[in-house]
Structure 1
């Protein structure tokens, strides 16, 4: 799809300059210096030649075909050149020029214009306002990046040109090569999802790195990422979190989600490994590039320092990993080969006087243990330590190991030579054990993603007509907010059980409904304009007889009229009093990038004060729903503590999936809360007590 960028036969540089210090000069020089094998055409109407190459007054004057054009002229001049490129038959355009949406409304119009031209001529655009594109396979450097990366197997995309330059420099310092590199800029046409799809099938790329500030097409990104991560690891760092979307939402879900929750959920649901720092971005990517993915949990630590071993063991536990249980045969072999004072447990302590040969003996033995699925070798420089020789023996024994091997040479100048040897032999070397362990954790997360069953969201036989009638009635009344009195019909149509209930316009009717349902009952204000009923004294519970119902009706109506005088009052909803069960909250808030963001948590203090909630992007499948439930800190309360029976977790999982299906099938739902959903003990189901939702205008 993007062959015009990854394998162009020829390149035109529009705005090529003879003047050093100009971008048009730097980009042309980068193209030449990279060794691009096809024709390079400088385009400059005021020059006969640039950097020894014949120059042409326009793209249309270049001889033969032009597959790729790089544009470096003022933004206001780009549109006519785009039209010339289209008429020439150019297939790919890199618009490095700035002056588009980033400068305001006029720039946005200019950006739309060049996209329209590109579509008219079936061209694709990188940029505008970008650093450019590099392809080490094609020996193409169509950028003003400060260096050409060495050839490698990491593909990197960045929304920020400045960050991209830094990433290239860090990669070079760490000895990491790249296959492809793109600075996305304003993403007027091509975006991160397009390159993820392209690179997911790229045989030259083993790992994909992403720096992103926003994702334009969230749902498509998730579909593409699910496919790409089945073939290779994708490591992403996301910046630019904002609370603006949170402030705009009025539901519990919107208030708790935050814009970053959708990205965290989307990455988790698609197998994308999220890095929180640039350091982690490189550590994880280097690990995936150079080592096999861990098969299952079980880390063995080999160290010459007890303290460092303890630090590593702590890091393993904090990361949710496990130390391998060494077999009796392994411990016997270690005891035979190591000094009496050495520890043959895990961590294996070869003692402070260990030289390279003792490390070699220990590594050879533990690497044969079937319980060991990863090895972390730690070295601290002591008077007899051999950092260089130990690195050499580690490399000799562990290169081509079927399990991942990480090194931690803790030090500076004394360990530097050993680190170089390890790195040259594709063994990641870290200055502290915590970084190595975080990389192992990322590897195990990816392994579990690969073992995960195929994504299969469930469909439900719901009463669509009943749901549409509720929505149509609200719109007919000029309303977008739907409260409990109406929303219970949506829950019933969705297959979620609701308590017995009826609407009463006056106190006499409230008593009639209560006696039909049976005491005790609950009364709630029924108003399309009052969604948070408790806030205005609009709920009374545990009403045991007609007198209490009449008194409660009068109080609720009076409260509503005094605190919400503008509200339309329908009366009171009389509802069956539900006893027992555990309160949970289910919610949805439609994220502008990813769509419906679902929330689950326990009700009451757990959601309001502790914010103990989990998020996923709909649609989701049974495994997603089950993970949502198990993810909250208070899960033990649902599983049963101190003799309490466990809650019906299967009913919760089913309710989450039903809600996911609803908001996927009805995209007009912007916000939705079921609060609370009362969950009974295992096997007895759940019942929705209150629901509210907001429709799109």
Structure 2
């Protein structure tokens, strides 16, 4: 159902309008009037005949017309009655400002559920309850108590926190940042973040979607929608509340490392969402995305009147992985025609401390014509002869004449550059307090451009034996067994094309020696028990055994010591397994996040995985490019490529393993967690081996 009535209603009723200054009912009504809203406004209050010169009605029915939007500010116990009245008269959009619902506990939740039931039955959409309200600059609608109507701009903002939205409005007003609309979503009883980003994506007045969220109601739907929207409009989000106590209780390596914060990071990466760490950073990014063209690439040129500031910018550009644009000989020769001989004609271009506005204007004009320049960062420090205002006006002139490349400004200082900063606000040229802040914004823009240019996601499907996996999982679930042992875990992996080492279970030392003779030495012994997840923790793994006697001794020692360490464990025997050829040990894993589904993991394998935590996560299903990027995102990748003369391992084989695992966990949602650790990878052309594995399942 469309949310158009929240964006541009033709009439609004304020239920709970008040004559008393300082009350929410008064502030919202006054904001509605003072913002210049051109539709009809009907105050509703049984206790008075008029408010602020407008006729006041005792209830909605007595208005005689159907308000397109109703704002509810009455105490929580009366809200349900108001909703019933809205249903009777046919109103389809309601903003419930009132608090006292599920945020206060079970009783409040019951009341909120009743309100939602009325809305669902009647086709009413609700924003709130427990919210600040809604502000839309294009329709001059200020249905909130957050302050004056903000400046008009291209940023559409949604916030789960009303108090934070009030602060954002105040900061934006002081800095001349404009909005298309602002939505406080409160308890999200009906309209949620997904509804609003979809509505803002369609809103012609919105060029950038920004927001603050504490959680996401439907993770899968949000990822898919955001991924589509990000191709058209950038999404800039602050996300708090990302820790997860549940991660501590996870039994696998992957589960213990994958809290909800990791899942959100993976979701942002997948969907092309730009995550912001603070309000300041969000505004830094938003004003550039809203008011400047996107860069065509990472090439940055710095124009400055101070060497130190230029060096700061150069350092930041290198740290952020951007490209320091190399100016063409033609550009350098042209700069030399008018700049002083002592100027620096290479990037960063230093026009010297005595530069007036005309010198900046000439240099900027020339630099924008250079094909290697994709973004210009203009720095200025106030010196005795500096013309801050005139220089800003000159930069704005050039920007209007050559609008195809983004220009960001950093006039460093305070009172001496204040007039120049005002010019930038009017000209919609982003101004930053430090070179580092400006460069971080350029980085965000370049990353977004690169994300939008990525090839279409194509997930490879491998021929597999699904029936084999189904039978193993169904058997375990039928018997109430959550953990699948190593042997059957490896059967599952083999069904999906993984190679595993040969081996058999022994229940006596002699049997273990016989199995070892058949496999060939050296061999590995592993304790076999459904109750022991991490075998090495209890001395349940012995490697490199080279004779029958070593195998017998290791078997006897395990069967003697381990029952004392884990007296409640049911020990079935010992797995005797061939020892893999040498190679790099990595881990492939998956943790199923309750909101976003299977979260793939890659990192350094063996016992070091939880010590070093050098891991990367990505949401399944994986494409080949995404699997390879997971490898690149770890320090382990440098070892895998080969260092100091050592030959690298088969990178493509690891990427294929991740894709096969991704297919497995996508096709079997019963799998909640799993590890392949270690996954031993050798030289290019050799077959990786899944040495150890564990899988946990749920219905």
Range class of TM-score, shorter chain: over 0.9
Instruction: Give the whole-Å Cα distance in 2 for the aligned partners of 1:530 and 1:680.
Output: 29
**Greater shift in the superposed pair: 159-168 or 499-508:** 499-508
Note the C-alpha offset of 1:604. 4.2
Q: 1:363 matched to which residue of 2?
A: 364
Matches within 5 A, 1:94-493: 94-399=95-400, 400-493=402-495
Instruction: Give the whole-Å Cα distance in 2 for the aligned partners of 1:482 and 1:546.
Output: 30
Question: Would you say the 8 A contact 1:485–1:526 is kept in 2?
Answer: no
Instruction: Give the whole-Å Cα distance in 2 for the aligned partners of 1:367 and 1:53.
Output: 56
Instruction: Give the whole-Å Cα distance in 2 for the aligned partners of 1:192 and 1:176.
Output: 22
Note the C-alpha offset of 1:631. 0.7
| Correspondent of 1:496 among 491, 495, 498 | 498
Q: 1:564 matched to which residue of 2?
A: 566
Deviations for 1:17-46, whole angstroms, at most 9, x for unmatched residues? 222222112212222222323322222233
Question: Would you say the 8 A contact 2:140–2:149 is kept in 1?
Answer: no
Note the C-alpha offset of 1:58. 2.6
Instruction: Give the whole-Å Cα distance in 2 for the aligned partners of 1:558 and 1:93.
Output: 71
Q: 2:627 matched to which residue of 1?
A: 625
| DSSP-derived class of the 2:322 partner | coil
Note the C-alpha offset of 1:277. 1.4
Note the C-alpha offset of 1:301. 0.8
| DSSP-derived class of the 2:613 partner | coil
Instruction: Give the whole-Å Cα distance in 2 for the aligned partners of 1:72 and 1:569.
Output: 65
Structure 1 unaligned regions, length at least 5: none
Instruction: Give the whole-Å Cα distance in 1 for the aligned partners of 2:594 and 2:202.
Output: 28
Question: Would you say the 8 A contact 1:338–1:358 is kept in 2?
Answer: yes
**Greater shift in the superposed pair: 69-78 or 413-422:** 69-78
The structure-2 alpha-carbon separation of the partners of 1:680 and 1:394, relative to structure 1 and needing over 3 Å to count, comes to same
Instruction: Give the whole-Å Cα distance in 1 for the aligned partners of 2:290 and 2:351.
Output: 29
Instruction: Give the whole-Å Cα distance in 2 for the aligned partners of 1:20 and 1:65.
Output: 28
Q: What is the TM-score of this pair, normalised by structure 1?
A: 0.97
Instruction: Give the whole-Å Cα distance in 2 for the aligned partners of 1:386 and 1:678.
Output: 64
Matches within 5 A, 1:677-696: 677-696=679-698
Question: Would you say the 8 A contact 2:524–2:578 is kept in 1?
Answer: yes
Instruction: Give the whole-Å Cα distance in 1 for the aligned partners of 2:93 and 2:354.
Output: 61
Note the C-alpha offset of 1:6. 1.5
Note the C-alpha offset of 1:605. 6.8
The answer as to 2:523 corresponding to 1:542 is: no
Structure 2 unaligned regions, length at least 5: none
**Greater shift in the superposed pair: 74-83 or 156-165:** 74-83
Note the C-alpha offset of 1:606. 5.4
Note the C-alpha offset of 1:215. 1.3
Q: 1:658 matched to which residue of 2?
A: 660
Instruction: Give the whole-Å Cα distance in 1 for the aligned partners of 2:113 and 2:557.
Output: 58
The structure-2 alpha-carbon separation of the partners of 1:330 and 1:606, relative to structure 1 and needing over 3 Å to count, comes to farther
Note the C-alpha offset of 1:526. 1.4
Q: 2:522 matched to which residue of 1?
A: 520
| DSSP-derived class of the 1:429 partner | coil
Deviations for 1:479-510, whole angstroms, at most 9, x for unmatched residues? 21223122111111222111112223333433
Instruction: Give the whole-Å Cα distance in 2 for the aligned partners of 1:144 and 1:580.
Output: 67
Note the C-alpha offset of 1:279. 0.8
Instruction: Give the whole-Å Cα distance in 1 for the aligned partners of 2:490 and 2:72.
Output: 58
Instruction: Give the whole-Å Cα distance in 2 for the aligned partners of 1:57 and 1:89.
Output: 18
Question: Would you say the 8 A contact 2:513–2:552 is kept in 1?
Answer: yes
Question: Would you say the 8 A contact 1:201–1:228 is kept in 2?
Answer: no
RMSD: 1.7
Question: Would you say the 8 A contact 1:496–1:688 is kept in 2?
Answer: yes
Instruction: Give the whole-Å Cα distance in 2 for the aligned partners of 1:186 and 1:588.
Output: 32
Instruction: Give the whole-Å Cα distance in 1 for the aligned partners of 2:112 and 2:515.
Output: 62
Name segments (4+ residues, structure 1) moved above 4 Å.
Answer: none
| DSSP-derived class of the 2:275 partner | strand
**Greater shift in the superposed pair: 570-579 or 458-467:** 458-467
| DSSP-derived class of the 1:670 partner | strand
Aligned length: 697
The structure-2 alpha-carbon separation of the partners of 1:122 and 1:129, relative to structure 1 and needing over 3 Å to count, comes to same
**Greater shift in the superposed pair: 349-358 or 280-289:** 349-358
Instruction: Give the whole-Å Cα distance in 1 for the aligned partners of 2:320 and 2:413.
Output: 23
Question: Would you say the 8 A contact 1:538–1:559 is kept in 2?
Answer: no
| DSSP-derived class of the 2:224 partner | helix
Question: Would you say the 8 A contact 1:269–1:624 is kept in 2?
Answer: no
The answer as to 2:511 corresponding to 1:509 is: yes
Instruction: Give the whole-Å Cα distance in 1 for the aligned partners of 2:67 and 2:508.
Output: 79
Question: Would you say the 8 A contact 1:302–1:348 is kept in 2?
Answer: yes
| DSSP-derived class of the 2:577 partner | strand
Matches within 5 A, 1:34-53: 34-53=35-54
